[in-house]
Amino acid sequence: MNKALLLTALSLGLSACTVSVRPGVTVVSAAQANLIQNFQPSRGEGSSYFVGESVSFRFSSRTAGYLTLVSLDPNGRGNVLQQNIYVPAGTTVLPRPSDRVTFDLTPPRGLQRVRAIFTTVRPTTQIVFSGQYDRGGWNTYTDSYVQGYGPEQRDVYETFFYIR
């Protein structure tokens, strides 16, 4: 049973955690290196919005850094919502009035995924994220963007909502 739990934890990509296995006891604990504490739409993860509405996000981090938001729409089209914006430690609601942008929802209707890519060091490159992606392609593309940073300098967190 312990081997099954360990393999499950590893397959979930829990690279920033500690897995301890002792006879009869298995403990999985998150490492303190996780920079993003929370990221979700203002109505909560899995909530619904109608075409024409605006969505905002609550983003919380342990430290100050730079945030890029990318989305994958129901048809598999990727977009950059905001790029390399400075956010302080704690909670920030995005978009901020000073950003002079809104996230107005348009078709297609369905599941909308949004990723927060956070680094403690200002990125020197711009992410060009436009085109059609399957789930694996989206993972590969966003992962390649953060590979130049050490695990203690980067974090990626995904949330979702529905467009009705």
Residues with Cβ < 8 Å from 85, sequence gap 6 or more? 66, 67, 68, 94, 99
pTM, rounded to two decimals: 0.77
pLDDT along the chain (164 residues), means of 10: 41 41 45 80 97 97 96 91 95 94 95 95 79 79 81 93 97
Cα–Cα distance between 28 and 30 in angstroms, integer?
Answer: 7
Quickly tell me which residue has 């296995």 as its tokens: 21
> What pLDDT, on a 0 to 100 scale, did the predictor assign at position 33?
52
Q: Is domain 33-163 annotated with CATH 3.40.50.1980?
A: no
> For the chain, what are the domain ranges?
1-31, 33-163
